[in-house]
């Protein structure tokens, strides 16, 4: 249901967080390396055929010049979520963030924080959940669990102050 793509295997550690979030929410995904610069024909094929393969959302992670999310968004009408990745050739990640954020009118890319692949996975689930009641219900449960985690942390904080 969700395509997770990245420009290089070095992006895998960050992008795995999107996959983990989708697994937690029971959403199927595929994960592939699709480089905008090294395999442009593959990128074109991937993006153009995404809807026919049953994808609903594409999460694209990229570091450095980070052209993958925007180029994929230019080739499909599916929602694309960009994950800027702090890479070894990056300028503190700002090059990736700005490359993904600064898309021209008509080619939007939803952009999460630097290395924010977990939020990309959750956002993809929310997009799917807007039209799928089962996914929406799992997201409601997930959101409730966040409240519970904060309550537990608050108790831990109070207990540590009292001692």
The sheet carrying 80-85 orders its strands as: 29-33, 2-6, 57-63, 80-85, 110-111
Residue 12 in marked binding region? no
User: What is the phi/psi pair of residue 106, to 5°?
Assistant: 100, -10
Residue 11 in marked binding region? yes
Q: In this structure, which long-range contacts are made by residues 86-95, counting pairs with CB atoms below 8 Å and at least 24 apart in sequence?
A: 86/14, 86/114, 86/115, 87/8, 87/10, 87/11, 87/63, 88/10, 88/63, 89/63, 89/64, 90/63, 90/64, 93/63, 95/64, 95/65, 95/66
Residue 8 in marked binding region? yes
Cβ neighbours of residue 33 closer than 8 Å, sequence gap 6 or more: 5, 6, 7, 8, 9
Binding residues: 8, 11, 38
Binding residues for substrate: 8, 11, 38
């Amino acid at each position: 249901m969700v395509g997770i793509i990245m420009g290089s295997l070095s992006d895998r550690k960050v992008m795995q967080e999107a996959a983990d979030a989708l697994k937690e929410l029971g959403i199927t995904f595929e994960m592939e390396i699709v480089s905008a610069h090294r395999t442009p024909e593959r990128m074109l094929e991937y993006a153009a055929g995404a809807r026919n393969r049953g994808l609903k959302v594409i999460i694209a992670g990229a570091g450095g010049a980070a052209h993958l999310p925007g180029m994929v968004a230019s080739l499909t009408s599916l929602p694309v979520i960009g994950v800027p990745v702090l890479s070894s050739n990056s300028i503190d990640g700002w090059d990736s963030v700005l490359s993904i954020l600064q898309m021209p009118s008509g080619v939007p890319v939803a952009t999460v924080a630097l290395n924010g692949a977990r939020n990309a996975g959750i956002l993809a689930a929310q997009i799917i959940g807007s039209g799928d009641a089962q996914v929406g219900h799992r997201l409601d449960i997930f959101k409730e669990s966040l409240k519970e985690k904060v309550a537990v942390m608050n108790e831990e904080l109070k207990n540590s102050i009292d001692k």
